[in-house]
Amino acid sequence: MSTVENRTQKGEVIIKVTDLKKSYKETIHALRGVSLEVKKGEVVVIIGPSGSGKSTILRSLNLLEIPTSGKIYFEGEDITSHKADLNRIRQKMGMVFQQFNLFPHMTVLKNMTIAPRKLLKLTKEEAETKAIKLLEKVGLADRADAYPSQLSGGQKQRVAIVRALCMEPDVMLFDEPTSALDPEMVGEVLEVMKRLAKDGMTMVVVTHEMGFAREVADRIIFMSDGLIVEEGSPEEIFDRPKNDRTREFCRRVSSQ
Amino acid sequence: MSKKKVIIIAAAAVLLIAGVLFVLFVSVGGNKKSREIAVEEAENLIKSTFDAAAVSKPLEAISQKYSFKVNSLEYGNEKDIIAECEISSVRVAEVIRNNYSSFLSSDVKKLNGLMYKSALDFKIEFEKKLTELVDTAEGFSETRNIRIYDTEDRGLVVYTDDDLVDTVYGGIITVIDEIGGIESYQTVEDGKTVEKKIESTNVKKGLIQAISPRYDPTVPDTSNALGRWWNGVKKDFVNNFIMYDRWTTIFKGLAVTIELTVLALLIGIIIGFAVAFVRCTHDCRPKNGPLISVLNAVSKVYLTVIRGTPVVVQIMIIYFVIFMPLRVNKFLSAVICFGLNSGAYVAEIVRGGIMSVDAGQSEAGRSLGFSYAATMTYIIFPQAFKAVLPALANEFVVLLKETSIAFYIGLGDLMYAGNAIRAATYSPFMPLVAVALIYLVMVVGLSNLVGRLEKKLRSSDR
């Protein structure tokens, strides 16, 4: 935890996780006691080999995975408590999936406006104005009436990102957002994410894009076997890794 | 949520439903007596009812040939009266014999000069046969319980028993068939025994006409086989569809079948989606309240019972055990029965549809902040519905055929209409084949539409 306190980034703690454990069928331990903090405005990138639990921890943050034990606090509220209003909390945490998960039976515009209209009670006009503005920012305003099946992978993921943004979340969670994309489309999605980070959005990103991690992350968390092995600034993790496993992982990904 | 709580809530729900049904039964169905009637009134009522039923049969005024004697009347609790009635065919012989002489004198003369000489031989043989058969017909005597209802709109109504009408007529029909069936006789000519043939159709016609004046023997009997056959077909067609506007029965029945199918499918879809929602919620969502556990238990019992018993049994129970005492009409009973039945199958179709929607869709919905129910409503159901639309349309086709089972409770659907004509005309071929053809055309047409729909949906998915 020492690295967290050394951070220069200012701001209050927005997500706090203490000793989170997750096991399936009591034999498979995906998370074996993870504690971390995310501050407002911070971009945290979680890296690690597959099966290390990085997706599980991200999905636990908005309780798409129910942890076996441990606590998660979001804006000071214990969201693992059964009294927590999950639906309200999830509105404040946007999530972007590897497989985009756009709603195939709705147009791009409908995809983006349904949640604000039904949950934030915006009028159709308000929601659509907001959606169009966001689509313009990601260069997809002309595809507002298209259906997801008519979009390329990169376009789909950009829509997925602005769909989450329509709810004006306090935190954005990205679960390997570029892993399902063809290589030539990775750039356009990362570009959107970089812009989002620059605008001060708090972001937790699970990714294999080491270039992106190095450029955008305020802090990198390296996970392996359901534990946080090392965390620190990009320079600390990539250039001067302390742990053998981190070193091995960085060497392997940089040689690719 | 403890198991004990679930059991208590389930038991309370069952008791509540039982209580409501009991109150309904007592208040709506129970203890209504008919007005009292005299034995003579009951007898006349039964006679006129059987006469009315006889209009479509080859014989007229059955009460002229049969006697109806009401022995006792018993008053039921549903504004009904049970009349113990003795029916006997004492007057069949009288009627046939009255017409017998005229038949012989007229018909045998017609059989060219050949017949004259041996008319006596023929007469003796014929008399023997007739006596034998009339004795059989006269032997008919049965005591039946005939139900009379005191209805609000139509007054006293006798519950006509098709089976009984058929039995009663059966006696006379046998006589006609057997006597009409005599085709040859023996006679002595120049000291030799000769086998002689007669025009059996003429004998039959003459006899039928003697007994039933409405029969029209002037229809030309074409001599060639094809012509005779075509003539028969024409006569059959007229008899089954044109006479008494019988075709309207078929179309009324068709309308009932279509209405029944559409309404039942609507109920089936509503129940199906509700049950599928409960089952999926119970299976897929980690934390659920007691309500879902109870509903899931109820759904499971519902699915097991409906899918584990034949639909014929279900409709008999639903109508005769549950709804008839409550005086719910047949159509509504059938709609509810087939709705419940179809619901069980739709539920499994929809459950498959919901399962086929990618788990990521539900995660995306939940991560935006939608509740479980809202995610289902806005995101999962529309996709599941599209996925199962062809299967639902197929269910409609299956249901269309299956509703013919409503025949068992006497609902006037297409099947019933066909059978009613068959029972009235004694010619099963045309009405039943017509009904089969109508079902076939509808099913083939709809299946074709389902196929196109499927293709269209698939192409829009890409």
Q: What size, in residues, is chain B?
A: 462
> Is any Cβ of chain A less than 8 angstroms from the Cβ of B386?
yes
Least trusted range by pLDDT, from A72-76, A210-214, B94-98, B183-187 = B183-187
- At residue B107, the pLDDT reads 42
- At residue B140, the pLDDT reads 60
> Is any Cβ of chain A less than 8 angstroms from the Cβ of B288?
no
Q: Which residues of B270-288 are buried (b: 16+ CB within 10 A; e: fewer)?
A: ebbbebbbbbbbbeeeeeb
- At residue B10, the pLDDT reads 80
Least trusted range by pLDDT, from B118-127, B203-212, B376-385, B448-457 = B203-212
Confidence of residue B218 (pLDDT cuts 50, 70, 90): very low
What is the spatial distance between Cα A62 and Cα A93, in angstroms, rounded to a whole number? Answer: 7
CA distance to partner chain B, nearest, from residue A209 (Å): 23
- B311-328: pLDDT as tens digits: 999 999 999 998 888 888
- Count of CA atoms in the C-beta half-sphere (13 A) of B409: 28
Torsion over CA of A140, A143, A145 and A151, rounded to 10 degrees? -110
For residue A246, the tally of other CB atoms under 10 A from its CB is 23
What is the spatial distance between Cα B235 and Cα A201, in angstroms, rounded to a whole number? Answer: 88
Confidence of residue B60 (pLDDT cuts 50, 70, 90): very low
- A81-132: pLDDT as tens digits: 888 898 999 999 999 999 999 999 899 999 999 999 999 999 999 999 999 9
Confidence of residue A10 (pLDDT cuts 50, 70, 90): low
Q: How would DSSP label each residue in A121-168?
A: ---HHHHHHHHHHHHHHTT-GGGTT--GGGS-HHHHHHHHHHHHHTT-
CA distance to partner chain B, nearest, from residue A153 (Å): 15
- At residue A195, the pLDDT reads 93
Q: How would DSSP label each residue in A161-211?
A: HHHHHTT--SEEEEESTTTTS-HHHHHHHHHHHHHHHHTT-EEEEE-S-HH
Nearest to B379 among A62, A90, A103 (CB): A103
Residue B62, pLDDT above cutoff 50: no
- At residue B249, the pLDDT reads 86
State which of B61-70, B101-110, B187-196, B391-400 shows the largest mean pLDDT: B391-400
**Which pairing describes strands A77-78 and A43-47: parallel, antiparallel, or unpaired?**
unpaired
Confidence of residue A36 (pLDDT cuts 50, 70, 90): very high
> Is any Cβ of chain A less than 8 angstroms from the Cβ of B356?
no
Residue A190, pLDDT above cutoff 80: yes
What is the spatial distance between Cα A155 and Cα A143, in angstroms, rounded to a whole number? Answer: 9
What is the spatial distance between Cα B18 and Cα B119, in angstroms, rounded to a whole number? Answer: 77
- At residue B254, the pLDDT reads 92
Residues of chain A contacting B, Cβ within 8 Å: 62, 64, 66, 82, 87-88, 90-91, 93-95, 97, 99, 101-105, 114-115, 118-119, 149, 163-164, 167, 173
Residue B461, pLDDT above cutoff 60: no
| Mean pLDDT (whole number) for B207-224 | 46
Q: What is the helix (H) or strand (E) element at residue A12, kind and residue range?
A: none
Residue B343, pLDDT above cutoff 90: yes
Burial of B210 by CB count in 10 Å (0-12 exposed, 13-18 middle, 19+ buried)? buried
Asked whether the beta carbons of A25 and A193 are under 8 A apart, the reply is no
If we measure between CA atoms, which residue out of B69, B64, B50 comes closest to residue B99?
Answer: B64
> Is any Cβ of chain A less than 8 angstroms from the Cβ of B378?
yes
Q: Which pTM value belongs to this model?
A: 0.61
Confidence of residue B82 (pLDDT cuts 50, 70, 90): confident
A114: closest chain B residue by CA: B378
What is the spatial distance between Cα A241 and Cα B284, in angstroms, rounded to a whole number? Answer: 42
| Mean pLDDT (whole number) for A47-57 | 89
If we measure between CA atoms, which residue out of B210, B201, B198, B207 comes closest to residue B122?
Answer: B198
Confidence of residue A72 (pLDDT cuts 50, 70, 90): very high
Domains of chain B in sequence order? 39-234 (no CATH), 247-461 (1.10.3720.10)
CA distance to partner chain B, nearest, from residue A92 (Å): 8
Across chain B, mean pLDDT equals 75
Tell me the count of A-B CB pairs closer than 8 A: 60
- B250-303: pLDDT as tens digits: 898 999 999 999 999 999 999 999 999 899 888 877 677 788 889 999 999 999
Residue B215, pLDDT above cutoff 80: no
Extract the tokens encoding A6.
Answer: 């050394």
Residue B217, pLDDT above cutoff 70: no
- Count of CA atoms in the C-beta half-sphere (13 A) of B187: 19
What is the spatial distance between Cα B20 and Cα B30, in angstroms, rounded to a whole number? Answer: 14
CA distance to partner chain A, nearest, from residue B371 (Å): 6
- At residue B75, the pLDDT reads 82
> Is any Cβ of chain A less than 8 angstroms from the Cβ of B230?
no
3-state secondary structure of B149: strand
CA angle B212, B218, B220 (to 5 degrees): 135
Query: To the nearest whole percent, how much of chain B has pLDDT over 90?
Result: 25
Confidence of residue B206 (pLDDT cuts 50, 70, 90): low
State which of B170-174, B390-394, B398-402, B410-414 shows the largest mean pLDDT: B398-402
Instruction: Compute CA B366 distance to the chain's CA centroid, rounded to the nearest angstrom.
Output: 52
CA angle B187, B188, B192 (to 5 degrees): 130
Residue B213, pLDDT above cutoff 50: no
- A158-180: pLDDT as tens digits: 999 999 999 999 999 999 999 88
Higher pLDDT, B234 or B59: B234
> Is any Cβ of chain A less than 8 angstroms from the Cβ of B389?
no
3-state secondary structure of A251: helix
Extract the tokens encoding A192.
Answer: 């959107």
Confidence of residue B110 (pLDDT cuts 50, 70, 90): very low
Q: How would DSSP label each residue in B247-306?
A: HHHHHHHHHHHHHHHHHHHHHHHHHHHHHHHHHHHHHH-S---HHHHHHHHHHHHHHHHH
| Mean pLDDT (whole number) for A44-71 | 91
